[in-house]
Amino acid sequence: MTGRPKPPGVEEKPEGPQNPMRRIQIDKIVVNIGVGQAGEQLIKGEKVLEMITGRKPARTRSKTQNKELGIRVGMPIGAKVTLRGKGAEGFLKTALDIRNNKISWYSFDPEGNFSFGVQDYTSFPNQKYSPEIGIFGMDVCVSLRRPGGRVSKRRRARGHIPRTHRITAKQAQGWLVEKFGAEVI
């Protein structure tokens, strides 16, 4: 500081590079299609996920029983794909473009994770409507993390993550606006 007082309302910016352990990054993206029944519809949903993500989907199974819908415990009712790394970042960019780079504020949870839906798979680039497949929508769930989060999950020498290191909804919204140019409405 030079000795001169700063005018009121002017904040001093921190010098040097930002702490790399405070950097927010994508942990994983889970793309989910819930069909609600086994059989031909589930196979079509799996095909849609494979076309969009380029990965083989895993089936999700029912945890509860619903006699009205004909669902039993353990019955396959959906499919999901987990994306990590650069592929996840590219997929998120594409999915946000489909939604016109807008996401609602209530899509964020207190831990900074967020999710949104895509109405139709034909909105993705290079995807055309196929009458034999039909129309499928999907849920996109994004989990964010900071470096060092593994400390609380590892088996040996498990540690505690302080509250200041956790990501809040406001920080996640700021990251989304800064990194992808999205608008939180």
Largest CA distance in the chain: 76
Secondary structure E strands in the chain: 25-34, 58-61, 76-83, 102-103, 114-118, 138-145, 183-184
State how beta strands 102-103 and 183-184 pair: parallel
Instruction: State the residue range of the domain holding 82.
Output: 22-144+163-184
In a domain, 134, yes or no: yes
In a domain, 11, yes or no: no
pTM given for the model: 0.82
pLDDT tens profile 11-49: 555 555 688 888 999 999 999 998 877 788 889 989 999
In a domain, 7, yes or no: no
Q: Based on C-alpha coordinates, what's the Rg of the chain?
A: 21
In a domain, 29, yes or no: yes
In a domain, 14, yes or no: no
CATH of the domain at 170: 3.30.1440.10
**Cα within 13 Å of Cα(45), Cβ side:** 25
Domain tally for the chain? 1
* Cβ count within 10 A of residue 126: 6
In a domain, 74, yes or no: yes
Quick one: 44 exposed, middle or buried, by C-beta within 10 A (0-12, 13-18, 19+)? middle
State how beta strands 114-118 and 138-145 pair: antiparallel
pLDDT tens profile 114-130: 999 998 888 888 888 88
Average pLDDT over the chain reads: 87
Greater pLDDT, 2 or 95: 95
In a domain, 72, yes or no: yes
In a domain, 124, yes or no: yes
